[in-house]
A and B are shown apart, each in its own frame.
Chain A
Amino acid sequence: MKSGSIAIVGAAESTDLGKIPHMSQIQLHADAALNTIADAGISIADIDGIATAGESPTAIAHYLGIKPTWVDGTAVGGCSFMLHVRHAAAAINEGLCNTVLITHGESGRSNIGRGGRPGGAATLQGQFENPFCTMGPPTVFTIPFLRYMHETGTTLEQLAMVAVVQREWASKNPRASFQDPVTVDEVMNARMIAYPFTLLECCLVTDGGGALILTSADRAKDFPTKPVYILGTGESVETPMISQMDDLTRSRAFRMSGEKAFAEAGITHAEVDHMMIYDAFAHLPFYGLEDLGFCKRGEAGAFIEERNTAPGGQLPLNTNGGGLSYMHSGMYGMYALQESVRQMRGTAPAQVENAEISVCHGVGGMFAASGTVIMGNVRP
């Protein structure tokens, strides 16, 4: 990094050290963070980047009330914080954020509320969500949708149509897990998992892997592949608890991530030829289309129902079949990236003719986090 381009402007430790039986681990992070914010003479609202280890950065951001455009949870042991400084420096220099908070907190002796393992009984989820007998993402990630329907007039038929259209795309992909077409009736009458979501509105559970190699645009000409340029990126986190979303009908993390990516890329929505919206469940495309500004509030249902995202439509979406039909191993984002890359290279089984710009948008956890990558095959 450019020597001397970045400075530390706030530094403080927790109020106490040694034996602190009156603070849980997450509160040790917060106590140190509040002392540091006071040291720097700013408020929590001034923080737009968060890095931490030992607790999830989503949990820390939620707990402290941070709305970040840059998030780092690199956890490689005790020196993680040195790496956070390094990563923060690169992020600030690249304009991903302006003011980064790096936190640590550890109840190493008293062992109070040691997070790490999500779902421990003393974590936030362990206290305020798990006791209500949640049974994984199909019973939690799906909770916001009835509210979204209530506020937008979206119908269950429109939800089913998401699965129908993506199966059409999957049928063109030899590697897709499910390729047979389905109808709206078949989707709605499939086995109910968590009302209103049926089996065909929930992602698959499969195995697989994927990888990417990146380098500078200047070096790309030395490689045998058609370069796919990164035009813009975004990221954000909101909360590890679905019950604590600011608004169950919109994802703040989606919106913040999408805004940054579009601002960096300097493109309009009309210029987008192809899109991937990580579809862990059938309602995710509604949120992605609206929160990223492709559809007005409440109009995504009709947009998909009217075949705008289907083969032949103006905005081909999830052209591999998505998490609903192609594959989903638990963390699907790599597959969305792979399909966007194929589309930009011109090698996708369901290739969109002359596609030049792809928006690849992912969710993490259950509306907990988001990342957006806009790619193109024409170097700006």
Chain B
Amino acid sequence: MFADKSKIPVPRATPETQHFWDGTLAGELRLQRCDDCSQVYFPPRPFCPVCSSRVVRIFTASGKASLHSYVINQRPHPAFEGPYSIAVVKLEEGPTMMTNIVNVDQTPEALILDMPLEVVFETLTDDIALPYFQPAGGAS
């Protein structure tokens, strides 16, 4: 699927997102939950975007998700061999996030909405690993 991972635009962590990127490097998908209203939210913030409480805590998510929607980009990108999916997945804990679906054929037949997925991390640099998602139970 990947032709040249050095062509992937590398994120830069900020103080508020550092815990998330420390997590992916350690193989953990970290989310935050508000102590006051229990909302689980993404992307990372040091306060709750629903009730604005500053009492929030980081926890490690299950890494389980379902395929919420996607496109299969046909235009060539130097990071990928051929067409590749750009997807939105829905985490078991509630939030949605963008990703690529890996270890599966990049076709409409293989990418079925609501299919169960699990997170898998790909280290790009000393500081950054990206969270991708693959069919639950491993590669298909």
| Chain A interfacial positions (CB closer than 8 Å to B) | 21-24, 26-27, 30, 34, 37, 43-44, 62-65, 112-113, 120-122, 124, 126-135, 138-140, 142-147, 150, 191-197, 241-245, 248
Contacts and interface: CB of A to CB of B under 8 A. Distances in A.
A243 B130 CA distance: 16
13 contacts: A24-B16, A27-B46, A131-B10, A132-B87, A132-B130, A143-B69, A147-B68, A147-B69, A147-B113, A191-B74, A193-B75, A194-B74, A194-B86
A135 B79 CA distance: 12
Nearest to A124: B43
Nearest to B41: A65
Contacts of A124: 43
Nearest to B87: A143
A128 B43 contact: yes
Given A44-B52, A135-B73, 5 more contacts: A24-B14, A26-B14, A127-B12, A139-B75, A145-B71
Nearest to B50: A65
Interface stretch (B25-33, B56-64, B94-102): B94-102
A121 B73 contact: no
B82 interface: no
B38 interface: no
A138 B74 CA distance: 10
A143 to B, nearest CB: 5
A243 B41 CA distance: 13
A250 to B, nearest CB: 13
A196 B109 CA distance: 12
B69 A145 contact: yes
Q: Which of A65, A150, A196 has the most CB of B within 10 A?
A: A65
Given A122-B14, A133-B86, A64 B52 contact: yes
A132 B69 contact: no
Given A131-B8, A195-B108, A23 B69 contact: no
Q: Which of A192, A193, A195 has the most CB of B within 10 A?
A: A195
Interface residues of B, number: 46
Given A147-B113, A244-B43, A128 B86 contact: no
A195 B110 CA distance: 13
Interface in B91-127: 96-100, 108, 113-114
Contacts of A144: 69, 88
Contact of B17 (A127, A194, A242): A127
Interface of B: 8-17, 42-43, 45-52, 54, 68-75, 77, 79-80, 83-84, 86-88, 96-100, 108, 113-114, 130
A150 B10 CA distance: 32
Nearest to B21: A127
Identify the 6 closest CB pairs spanning chains A and B, nearest first: A65-B49, A147-B69, A24-B14, A243-B98, A195-B72, A121-B12
B52 A65 contact: yes
A133 B100 contact: yes
Nearest to A144: B69
Contacts of A127: 11-14, 17, 43
Contacts of B113: 146-147, 150
B71 A64 contact: no
Nearest to B98: A243
B17 to A, nearest CB: 6
Contacts of A196: 71, 108
B12 A140 contact: no
A64 B14 contact: no
A133 B69 contact: no
A133 B108 contact: no
Nearest to A62: B49
Nearest to A21: B15
Contacts of A130: 9, 11
Contact of B52 (A21, A24, A37): A37
Contacts of A193: 74-75
A65 B12 CA distance: 23
Contacts of A147: 68-69, 88, 113
B29 to A, nearest CB: 13
Nearest to B79: A133
A131 B96 CA distance: 16
A242 B9 contact: no
Contact of B97 (A21, A64, A197, A243): A243
